[in-house]
Structure 1
Amino acid sequence: MGDPQDDDARDLASPACFLHELSPGEGGMGDLSPAERRSNIFRWRRAERERLLALRIAIPADRRAADAECIAAHLDTLLPAVEGKVVSLYWPMRCEPDLRAWFAAILGRGAIGALPVVAEKNTPLVFHLWRPGEKLKRGFWNIPVPEKEEAVTPDIALAPIVGFDAEGYRLGYGGGYFDRTLAVLPASRRVIGVGYSMLRIRTIYPLPHDIKMDAIVTEAGSADVPS
């Protein structure tokens, strides 16, 4: 997307023989300049993203539905009091956990619903109020967004994850939208990464622009991220 934080690095002509360069003990990362290290990390992330997306897409539909129910139950445990809180969901795509039923349930318990919106490319997301049944329109990349544009600031934001590590860093789709957004949201907000346990990796090799989640929830359980 032409963004300096975009993981989809443009210099992809080199062969994918760079994994050894990412670990100090396996190839002398100290010999790399910061720019070379950053480029290699972006290239590694692109390959890892494609691998993890293929794994996610291969999950049978019935298992994804069962996993979504487990994730919803863990979210209820993690978020016992949502009345009056603005909770931002994501619109499920590419076999992400579909939590729309859970979303409707928490709105019934007094939560205030919102969806993220790309207002302009390469800028932080904005959040617009939305309840199931209200009209949607096609946003960037044809993702449904609320037709009515009432901006709010979420108290709790759910972020879909392609991959995640033990430190709470999230591997997304490479556009940097959630990282830009987290950088400008109030410090009091709570951001919860949502995905499948099979997508956990050792590390995403975090860079300065990467921002940790506050918690990670999968079908296997939930855990607060170490500070």
Structure 2
Amino acid sequence: MDLADQKAAVRKQAFAARKAAFDLDAGGASGLLSSVLAGYRGVSLAGYMPIRSEIDPLPAMAEAAAHGHVGVPVIMGQGQPLRFSRWMPDAPLRAGPFGAMVPEVDDFLKPEILIVPLVAFTRTGGRLGYGGGFYDRTLQQLRARRATLAIGFAYGAQEMAALPMEPTDQMLDMIVTDAEVIEV
């Protein structure tokens, strides 16, 4: 089985685990994320607008927006790094690619912290995304300019013992789940 097939098999398993955790989520899953971000008040960060069964970072992002700039990813095109447009709670949004909402008017910023959505993770900072490479390219570009903290945000059920990794895969610095904070 080649690497692409391995990743596809792991994604299928991880999507099922994530959906099961999502179905049990009674809200409040972003509490630990809020406590982690409180230590970085005023630092420019980017979260994401949750789609499908992704864990919801919006309450933590709203709290952070009261203290500093918060952006959300905007897909500029296939094979390109993401850009991040300034987001505020209750600000007007428009539909972006892949069903994620983005601010109606783009006001781009360069975050120092990225809250990264994922399909699966390992305790050593490995991350499996959707397969487009957007976050890998983006983190590589941001980290080439300055230190950038990548915080994976997921349900604990998305943890895997190991993941098929490529040299271009960017590692997470920390993982925050609905139940714990994992320092890498």
Asked if these proteins are the same fold (TM beyond 0.5), I'd say yes
CA distance, structure 1, for counterparts of residue 38 and residue 59 of structure 2: 17
Displacement of 1:81? 3.1
User: Partner of 1:33 in structure 2?
Assistant: none
Larger Rg: 1
Could you say if the C-alpha distance between residues 132 and 205 of structure 1 is closer, same or farther in structure 2, counting changes exceeding 3 Å? Answer: same
CA distance, structure 1, for counterparts of residue 22 and residue 177 of structure 2: 16
Checking the alignment, whether the CA contact within 8 Å between 2:119 and 2:129 is kept in structure 1 is yes
Q: Secondary structure at the match of 1:179?
A: helix
TM score, norm. by length of structure 1: 0.75
CA distance, structure 1, for counterparts of residue 22 and residue 116 of structure 2: 22
1:8-47 → structure 2 map (5 Å cutoff)? 18=1, 40-47=2-9
CA distance, structure 1, for counterparts of residue 37 and residue 62 of structure 2: 15
CA distance, structure 2, for counterparts of residue 78 and residue 142 of structure 1: 28
Displacement of 1:142? 2.8
CA distance, structure 2, for counterparts of residue 147 and residue 155 of structure 1: 23
CA distance, structure 1, for counterparts of residue 123 and residue 43 of structure 2: 28
What is the aligned counterpart of 2:44 among 69, 74, 86? 86
CA distance, structure 1, for counterparts of residue 93 and residue 3 of structure 2: 37
User: Partner of 1:64 in structure 2?
Assistant: 25
TM score, norm. by length of structure 2: 0.91
User: Partner of 1:198 in structure 2?
Assistant: 157
Checking the alignment, whether the CA contact within 8 Å between 2:115 and 2:151 is kept in structure 1 is yes
What is the aligned counterpart of 2:126 among 150, 163, 169? 169
Checking the alignment, whether the CA contact within 8 Å between 2:74 and 2:84 is kept in structure 1 is yes
Gaps of 5+ in 1: 1-17, 19-39
Q: Secondary structure at the match of 1:192?
A: strand
Displacement of 1:106? 2.1
Please give the root-mean-square deviation of Cα atoms over the aligned residues, in Å: 1.6
1:86-165 → structure 2 map (5 Å cutoff)? 86-108=44-66, 110-165=67-122
CA distance, structure 1, for counterparts of residue 39 and residue 156 of structure 2: 25
Gaps of 5+ in 2: none
User: Partner of 2:141 in structure 1?
Assistant: 184
CA distance, structure 2, for counterparts of residue 150 and residue 224 of structure 1: 32
Runs of 4+ in 1 over 3 A off after TM superposition: none
Aligned length: 182
1:212 aligns with 2:174: no
Displacement of 1:60? 5.5
User: Partner of 1:55 in structure 2?
Assistant: 17
